Amino acid sequence: MLSLSSAIELVQPNRIRFGRGTVGEVGAWLRERAIARVLVVTDVFNAKRVDVLGLDGMVTIAGELAGEPDTADLDRIIALAENVAPEAVVGFGGGSAMDLAKLAAVLPGSGQKLADVVGPERVGRKGAVLVQVPTTAGTGSEVGTRALVTDRATAAKLAVQSLHMLADLAVVDPDVALGMPRAITVATGVDALAHCVEAFTNRKAHPTVDLYALEGIRLVGHWLPRAAIDLDDPEARAGMALASLYGGYCLGPVNTSAGHAVAYPLGTRFHVAHGAANALVFPHTLAFNAPAVADKTALVLTALGLPAASDPDTVFAAAHRWCHDLGCEMRLSAYGVTDKDLPVMAQEAHAIRRLLDNNPRDLTREDILAIYRRAL
Ligand SMILES: [Fe+2]
């Protein structure tokens, strides 16, 4: 683990607006800057309510997104953006829409293609003002510099990271998530939790980020069960929007670790929603890591409102029950995964070094396989 004096770099969007009713300010903010040509990157559901952003002028909506973005989705949006030449790109949706918005703000007209910018800081410039408006409480992508796109050919997640993809304005309006179905509320909420937990127990963990991580875990423990029961509770939505934002603060400087790596093949191979995949994996990696980060694991449990523990069996049982009681699907077989799928999934997860190298305890391919077998 790093010490108090370890180096870290913290970046945030120039401006973050948080609170009920802020979503309608996006249009006015753009008009103040004399921006009239806007591309909204969104999904099928949110495309129907783009009017809440208060935009006028030349608004083009790229709203065909369904599920996690792949290279075909990106190609379509880049082609549209090259045609429209927007002065501003607005990401309006979950992580998928916001990640594609990041790329749509930097790639069109740059001469760079996706393959040129995969990795850290390879993007040449920002071509449009970027506004991010999350509609779920989980991803934290609105405050981040990273975009993930699945390569259709290889099923691998390609990660682009660039300061040019940082939002000029992030608008977090908790009311946007009011009425979101329970399954999405829970899955995205556990994703926010996973961001905080994986940063908190990370090999690169840092006190400046632990602050947000631990408070984010506490917020999820307090508000997610309530948000899952009453889908129209504005206070619970606000608590979760804040938790998601704090999770986003964790992603940039520290990032996730084994939980996300082990969850990725579920998304890329079986199209399990990102949050649902993370919920399924969460108790397994928390318990696996417990011997390496015993004190922090106990703090995770108490922040969630559970009894302190650090022995793997107790940690697993408590975290599994917590996810299960929220209504998360905790079995791989429910998603059509069979025993013969597991070795290739383990191989793929094990290859995600950018995340596994952050994990406080080394995971072999066999360790990952054992986790999948236990979750089958
Ligand atoms: Fe995530």
pLDDT (0 to 100) of residue 172 = 98
Nearest residue to 291 via CA among 350, 349, 360: 360
Average pLDDT (58-72) is 90
Average pLDDT (49-75) is 92
Does position 159 have pLDDT exceeding 70, yes or no? yes
Q: Give the tens place of pLDDT for each residue, 279-314.
A: 999 999 999 999 999 999 999 999 999 999 999 999
How much is the mean pLDDT over the chain? 96
**pLDDT band, very low/low/confident/very high, at 56 (cuts 50, 70, 90):** confident
How far, in Å, from the CA of 57 to the mean position of ligand 1?
34
Angle at 135 between CA 131 and CA 136, to 5 degrees: 130
Architecture category of domain 179-375 in CATH: Up-down Bundle (1.20)
How far, in Å, from the CA of 30 to the mean position of ligand 1?
29
Does position 2 have pLDDT exceeding 80, yes or no? no
Q: Give the tens place of pLDDT for each residue, 81-110.
A: 999 999 999 999 999 999 999 999 999 999
CATH class label, 15-176: alpha beta
Amino acid occupying residue 203 = R
**pLDDT band, very low/low/confident/very high, at 268 (cuts 50, 70, 90):** confident
Query: What percent of the chain stands above pLDDT 70?
Result: 99
How far, in Å, from the CA of 86 to the mean position of ligand 1?
28
Domains of the chain: which residue ranges?
Answer: 15-176, 179-375
pLDDT (0 to 100) of residue 6 = 86
Q: Give the tens place of pLDDT for each residue, 209-262.
A: 999 999 999 999 999 999 999 999 999 999 999 999 999 999 988 999 999 999
Q: Are 349 and 265 in contact (CB under 8 A)?
A: yes
Q: Are 137 and 189 in contact (CB under 8 A)?
A: yes
How far, in Å, from the CA of 45 to the mean position of ligand 1?
20
**pLDDT band, very low/low/confident/very high, at 4 (cuts 50, 70, 90):** confident
pTM of the predicted protein model:
0.95
How far, in Å, from the CA of 244 to the mean position of ligand 1?
10
pLDDT (0 to 100) of residue 58 = 84
pLDDT (0 to 100) of residue 1 = 58
d(CA 10, CA 5): 14
Q: Which residue has the tokens 């981040």?
A: 144
Tell me the CA distances in angstroms from 66 to 61, 122, 137, 295, one per residue in order. 14, 28, 18, 40
How far, in Å, from the CA of 219 to the mean position of ligand 1?
17
CA 84, 85, 89, 91 dihedral sign is positive
Does position 116 have pLDDT exceeding 70, yes or no? yes
- Give the pairing of strands 129-134 and 58-65: unpaired
pLDDT (0 to 100) of residue 57 = 82
How far, in Å, from the CA of 193 to the mean position of ligand 1?
9
